Amino acid sequence: MKPVQPYFVFATYQYHKRIVMSNGIAHLYHYCYNCDEFGNISAIPDGCVDIYFEKDSSGVHPRACGTVLKRTLINNQKEHEYFGIRFMPGVLPANLKVQMKDLIGLETDLIYLLKNKDLVKRIEETQDWQQCIRLFLEDYSASLNEVSCFSSGNSRQQLAGYLKDTIISTMGCIKIQELSEKTGYSARYINMLFEQYIGLSPKTFERILKFQNAINLLNHHQEGHLTQVGMEAGYFDQAHFIREFKKHTAMTPAEYRKLIREHSYLQRLSID
């Protein structure tokens, strides 16, 4: 599951992404909002936590944000540089002192959330974004070694991790009843546990992953029939696909496809 934020790409001349897909990290990214032809940047639901550093003339400012639940305008500034770490869906960085549910739809100063007060001081002192990211990743790796987000010593966390991974492996195409049958736990208990550790209901998480799969299919297969795209993403009919897609983007799949063609999505995106 490779989460994407296409509106960030539309509003830049070049959006750089380095795929990681390990230790809970999906990818690193770098962009500068400088494209007059596209207007405001929007975030779409991806189920992810982002840690990013905004660089301007006054220095580097660290931020943390959780997933939005619908297309949401964000306050990125033109000509500022942004460098970030996007974690995999449902993963809370181990070095943050916050619950996942408290990050939903929230953007805040990273300094308030870090467990390591020494790291706070070191980040505040540096003016170099590469050093900021290196410091954060070193602390994150150390935190992972100390305690996993889904540690073997906590059966509830293990179950939450299994549920999350199962939903991701099916790209959201699994029902809560199926999860109940797989685990032997009631749908009510699964809902409670999932919201406690992932911050969302299983149903909302499933919808986000299915939507992200559809976005990825549209981004990279711009000529296929939309009905086929919807079916491949797991929507049971075209009306359902359009309704869910519009709920997350405020536009139809056809309107979105037109947008990615007009703004040369793949040409603006650099991946390594």
Q: Region 217-224: what's the mean pLDDT?
A: 85
Instruction: Express each pLDDT in 151-199 by its tens digit.
Output: 555 788 889 999 999 999 999 999 999 999 999 999 999 999 999 999 9
Residue at token pair 């992404």: 17
Q: Where are the beta strands (DSSP E) in 23-149?
A: 25-32, 42-43, 50-56, 59-65, 72-73, 81-87, 107-109
The highest-level CATH class for domain 207-265 is mainly alpha
The pLDDT of residue 148 is 54
Q: Where are the domains of the chain?
A: 6-146, 155-203, 207-265
Q: What angle do CA 230, 233, 237 make, to 5 degrees?
A: 40
Beta-carbon contacts of residue 30 (< 8 Å; ≥ 6 apart) = 15, 16, 81, 82, 83, 84
In Å, how far are 105, 113, 193, 256, 260 from 35, measured between CA atoms?
A: 25, 32, 43, 18, 15
Q: Report the predicted TM-score, pTM, of the whole model to 2 decimal places.
A: 0.92
The pLDDT of residue 149 is 47
Taking alpha carbons only, the member of 69, 58, 81 closest to residue 8 is 81
The pLDDT of residue 120 is 81
The HSE-up count of residue 9 (CA atoms within 13 Å, CB side) is 20
Q: How confident is the model at residue 40 (pLDDT cuts 50, 70, 90)?
A: confident
Q: How confident is the model at residue 36 (pLDDT cuts 50, 70, 90)?
A: low
Higher pLDDT, 245 or 1: 245
- The whole-angstrom separation of Cα 97 and Cα 71 is 27
Instruction: Express each pLDDT in 122-133 by its tens digit.
Output: 888 887 888 888
- The whole-angstrom separation of Cα 187 and Cα 191 is 6
Instruction: Express each pLDDT in 133-160 by its tens digit.
Output: 899 999 999 998 876 544 555 788 889 9
Amino acid in position 124: E
Instruction: Express each pLDDT in 79-109 by its tens digit.
Output: 788 999 999 999 999 999 999 999 999 999 9
255 pLDDT more than 70: yes
28 pLDDT more than 70: yes
In the chain, pLDDT over 90 holds for what percent of residues?
Answer: 68
Q: Region 200-220: what's the mean pLDDT?
A: 95
